[in-house]
Amino acid sequence: MMEKILVLDFGGQYNQLIARRVRECNVYCEVHTYTKFGVDEIKKFDPRGIILTGGPQSVNSDDFSVDEKIFALDVPILGICFGAQLMAKALSGRVESAPTSEFGRTEIDRIGGSRLLDGVSARSTVWMSHNDRIIDAPRGFKITASTANCPIAAMENPERKLYAVQFHPEVVHTVDGKIIFDNFINLCGCARDWQMKSFAAEKISELRSTIKGRALCALSGGVDSSVAAALMSKAIGKNLTCVFVDHGLLRKNEADEVEAVFKNFDLNFIRVDASKRFLDRLSGVTEPERKRKIIGEEFIRVFEAEAKKIGAVEYLVQGTIYPDVIESGLGKAAVIKSHHNVGGLPDHVDFKAIVEPLRMLFKDEVRAVGRELGLDEKIVSRQPFPGPGLGIRIIGEVTADKIKIVQDADAIFRAELESAGVMSNQYFAALTNMRSVGVMGDGRTYDYAIVLRAVETTDFMTATASKIPWEILSRAADRIVNEVAGVNRVLYDCTSKPPSTIELE
């Protein structure tokens, strides 16, 4: 039996990070929303430990309730922020609205010994984000840390295996966060045997025994769908056909490059030119969520059509990964964007089942599986490219002319960064819907503005703008306005995520 940690999701924005931290300890975990995962489901899931996440609501609000039997399961529980308050309230402690909210970096002072905080400095920087606070710890709990505004910043009852922190150990700003997760995983008695090597072998044998019949894989050339395709081809061999849809929203020359790579693979490869079909459906559409839904839906329709041509195809394989699932509204966290491979699925799909072999993996885990399967490093380490492609890098209506503009500008920016050896995790050009006045030669222009975006990130949940040297930015800008017709202004996006997102739509 694989050891698992349950992350019970109350809708906080950092919940994926909690899951990442647990996986980094080589322990498998899943995130489940509290409304759909009661005590019976928890028992069936059989976790070694449970983490209660942060959340936007107040534990004192009338429209919120949780089954308090969770705390009697005799499984180690770590409550984080809202999860800590929930634990306090459920076990007859007291939670009240704090006179001053704490947001951002703060210092905790440790108080006495603690199993959870063992190894954390006596004074340590943590990340806080809360309005309420615990003012009375439940009976049997010992207070193990405080801050200037928060007398109970951490508490525990080791006999009952219950631990709580008001701050967020999952974010990098909490300097000793990793130690806290390590301690909790040890308190759960985990052997830490979750590895990508075992994942690949187990997944291939599971797919081999469950997928009986022909499958069609949606191949985009990105790391996710390529790894999904490699896993599937190892599992079902020639029963797999990979369909690469050129929706016309790919980067410059990308369709040819993808075809060149996959033509050499030992699988059935079909390239479909569907660009006109996508452009027609996107005509006149400006709203980002609507564009995402249309592109997602159209993808499925193209696959259905291809499947019919191949005949007797029962399964559709997709490279959906865990952040896609979580960001598309798993819990009560606000839906920021619906990713096309999940949120855009139409109600009616003409396949027996959708197979998503990477659905529970984070990006770096997917890359590790890719390497395990011997995929080309160029594919494995490719920067992410969103499913809806340039459709969400063109603000407002998508037209053939705008696609050409953004493709050319993007190719220039990427070439300049790559030749200068700049290491950003994701970098691209996007086309705004802003036109402004410029002067070229002796004439007035009224053209579009391109936005250049380059970010540093480890998990794509948070990101900061890369500090690109000025000479590189200005060379890219000069080249873009000179070489790309229709552009007379180039802007660099300096915002972090949050409050922005990486893509512009």
| Binding footprint of ligand XMP on the chain (CB under 6 A) | 292, 337, 339-341, 384, 386-388, 426, 460, 497, 501-503
Question: How does DSSP classify residue 146?
Answer: E
- Least gap, CB of 354 to ligand XMP (angstroms): 15
**332/497 with CB nearer ligand XMP:** 497
Min. distance of Cβ 16 from ligand XMP in angstroms?
A: 11
Residue of 25, 81, 190, 242 marked active site: 81
Active-site residue 68, yes or no? no
Smallest distance, Å, CB 343 to ligand XMP?
8
Q: How far is the CB of 457 from ligand XMP (least distance, A)?
A: 8
Distance of CA 11 to the CA centre of its chain: 15
* CB 499, min distance to ligand XMP, A: 11
Q: How far is CA 286 from CA 397, 410, 433, in A?
A: 5, 21, 10
Tell me the two tokens of residue 151: 């007398």
Considering the complex, what minimum distance in angstroms separates the CB of residue 317 from ligand XMP?
15
For residue 32, the cross-strand partners are 8
3-state DSSP assignment of residue 136: strand
Cβ closest to ligand XMP, residue 357 vs residue 388: 388
- Among candidate residues 32, 130, 168, 339, the one labeled active-site is 168
DSSP 99: E
Euclidean distance between the first and the last CA atom of the chain, given in angstroms as a whole number: 42
Chain-centre distance for alpha carbon 122: 34
- CB 144, min distance to ligand XMP, A: 36
Burial of 65 (0-12, 13-18, 19+ CB in 10 A): exposed
Q: Angle of helix 196-210 relative to helix 223-236, nearest 10 degrees?
A: 60
Q: Are 91 and 154 in contact (CB under 8 A)?
A: no
Provide the minimum distance between the beta carbon of 407 and ligand XMP in the complex, in angstroms, as a whole number: 16
For ligand XMP, which is the closer residue by CB, 83 or 388?
388
Q: Which is nearer to ligand XMP, 89 or 363 (CB)?
A: 363
Q: How far apart are CA 202 and CA 206, in angstroms?
A: 6
339 is catalytic: no
What is the DSSP code string of 215-270?
Answer: EEEE--SSHHHHHHHHHHHHHHGGGEEEEEEE-S-SPTTHHHHHHHHHHTSSSEEE
Alpha-carbon Rg for the chain, nearest whole angstrom, is: 25
Active-site position among 156, 170, 365, 416: 170
Give the residue with the Cβ less far from ligand XMP, 167 or 278: 278
d(CA 84, CA 132): 11
Residue 106's beta-bridge partner residues?
126
- Decide: 226 and 219 in contact? Cβ < 8 Å: yes
Cβ-based nearer residue to ligand XMP, 130 or 339: 339
Cα 12 from Cα 52, distance rounded (Å): 10
The smaller minimum CB distance to ligand XMP, of residues 18 and 325, is found at 325
Cβ neighbours of 462 (radius 10 Å): 18
The least distance separating ligand XMP from the CB of residue 33, rounded to whole angstroms, comes to 20
Please state, in angstroms and rounded to a whole number, the distance separating the CA atoms of residues 195 and 299: 33
Residue 6 or 230 having the CB closest to ligand XMP: 230
What does the block give as tokens for 8?
Answer: 């019970």
Q: Is the CB of 224 or the CB of 416 nearer to ligand XMP?
A: 224
Q: How far is the CB of 56 from ligand XMP (least distance, A)?
A: 19
**Which of 147/424 has CB closer to ligand XMP?**
424
Contact 284, 397 (CB under 8 A): yes
DSSP states of 358-421 as a string?
A: TTT--HHHHHHHHHHTT--HHHHTPPP--TTGGGGSB-S---HHHHHHHHHHHHHHHHHHHHHT
| Beta-sheet pairing, 142-146 with 154-157 | antiparallel
The answer to whether 29 is a known catalytic residue is: no
Kind plus residue range of the DSSP H or E element containing 31: strand 28-33
Point out the residues that are catalytic.
81, 168, 170
